[in-house]
Structure 1
Amino acid sequence: MPQLNPAPWFFMMLTSWLMLTLIVQPKVSSFTHTNPPSYKTPTPSKTTPWTWPWT
Structure 2
Amino acid sequence: MPQLNPNPWFLIMLVSWAVFSLIIQPKLLSFTTINPFSTKLKMTTKTTSWTWPWT
Asked if Structure 1 and Structure 2 have the same fold, meaning a TM-score greater than 0.5 normalized by the shorter chain, the answer is yes
Q: What corresponds to 1:27 in structure 2?
A: 27
Q: Percent identity?
A: 60
Q: Which has the larger radius of gyration?
A: 1
Task: Provide TM-score, normalisation by structure 1.
Answer: 0.69
Task: Provide TM-score, normalisation by structure 2.
Answer: 0.69
Runs of 4+ aligned residues of structure 1 deviating over 6 Å after TM superposition are 48-52
Please, what is the CA RMSD of the aligned residues?
2.3
The DSSP-based 3-state class of the residue aligned with 2:38 is coil
The alpha carbon displacement at 1:8 in A equals 2.2
Matches within 5 A, 1:1-55: 1-45=1-45
Gaps of 5+ in 1: none
Gaps of 5+ in 2: none
Number of aligned positions between the proteins? 52
